[in-house]
Amino acid sequence: MRRQKRDRLDRAHANGYQAGINGKSKDNCPYQNIDARSEWLGGWREAVSDKNMGLFK
């Protein structure tokens, strides 16, 4: 059986998280689709929150 690719929304969330950790602005979201954009921003917010809590430097 072929291994399925990760869900696109999961990938959008992960990419947003990485952008937040790396200090990128939320205005840099590359997605136009409203669902993917929402997931990306959710990941970005989560990363910024984690960064503010001191989990990342």
Q: Cα–Cα–Cα angle for 51, 52, 54, nearest 5°? A: 70
Residue 39 forms part of a structural domain:
yes
Identify the domain containing residue 31 by its residue range. 8-52
* Span 16-35, pLDDT tens digits: 999 999 999 999 999 999 99
Query: How many CA atoms lie less than 13 Å away from 54 in the CB half-sphere?
Result: 0
Query: Does 14 reside within a domain?
Result: yes
pLDDT at 20: 96
Q: How many domains does the chain have?
A: 1
Region label for 25, one of left (φ > 0), alpha (ψ between -120 and 50) or beta (otherwise): beta
Structural domain includes residue 3? no
pTM beyond 0.95, yes or no: no
CATH number at residue 15: 1.10.10.620
Interval 39-57: pLDDT, tens = 999 999 999 999 999 887 6
Give the model's pLDDT for residue 55: 82
Residue 2 within any structural domain of the chain: no
With respect to residue 1, please indicate whether it lies within any of the assigned structural domains.
no
